[in-house]
């Protein structure tokens, strides 16, 4: 395992929710990262944000680690969930709520319902 993969695994293992993204949750640097961080922030999910633009090894390493070609990438309790399209679909269908419930991740059900009603 490379140094980048070791750091990625340690980060995923140490945090309940991790978003590998371009930029930070306070200042996303791409629309897809902004959308996923925005959903998590709006739902009140505590998450660790890893700025792949700050570390080229992590930027490529996370793609190799997950065998997923794009960023952002969301991990919940060690499980790779997916990127922007998947997180968006899961949010709108209620699957993300179920995942958070099943994994014991705190979030605002009211905020999740607001997202769905605004996109209905």
Q: Which long-range contacts (CB under 8 A, 24 or more apart) does 29-36 make?
A: 29/53, 30/71, 32/70, 32/71, 32/72, 32/83, 32/84, 33/71, 33/72, 33/84, 35/84, 35/87, 35/88, 36/72, 36/74, 36/83, 36/84, 36/87, 36/88
List, in order of start, the domains of the chain with CATH numbers.
3-118 (3.40.30.10)
pLDDT at 2: 80
Q: The pTM is what?
A: 0.96
pLDDT of residue 120: 85
Full pLDDT tens readout for the chain, 120 residues = 689 999 999 999 999 999 999 999 999 999 999 999 999 999 999 999 999 999 999 999 999 999 999 999 999 999 999 999 999 999 999 999 999 999 999 999 999 999 999 998
């Amino acid at each position: 395992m490379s140094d980048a993969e070791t750091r990625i695994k340690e980060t995923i293992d140490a945090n309940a929710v991790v978003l590998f993204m371009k930029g930070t949750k306070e200042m996303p640097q791409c629309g897809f990262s902004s959308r996923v961080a925005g959903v998590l922030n709006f739902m009140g999910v505590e998450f660790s944000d890893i700025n792949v633009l700050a570390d080229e090894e992590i930027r490529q390493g996370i793609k190799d680690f997950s065998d997923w070609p794009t960023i952002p990438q969301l991990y919940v309790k060690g499980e790779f969930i997916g990127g922007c399209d998947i997180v968006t679909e899961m949010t709108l269908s209620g699957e993300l709520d179920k995942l958070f419930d099943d994994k014991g991740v705190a979030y605002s059900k009211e905020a999740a319902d607001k997202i769905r009603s605004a996109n209905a």
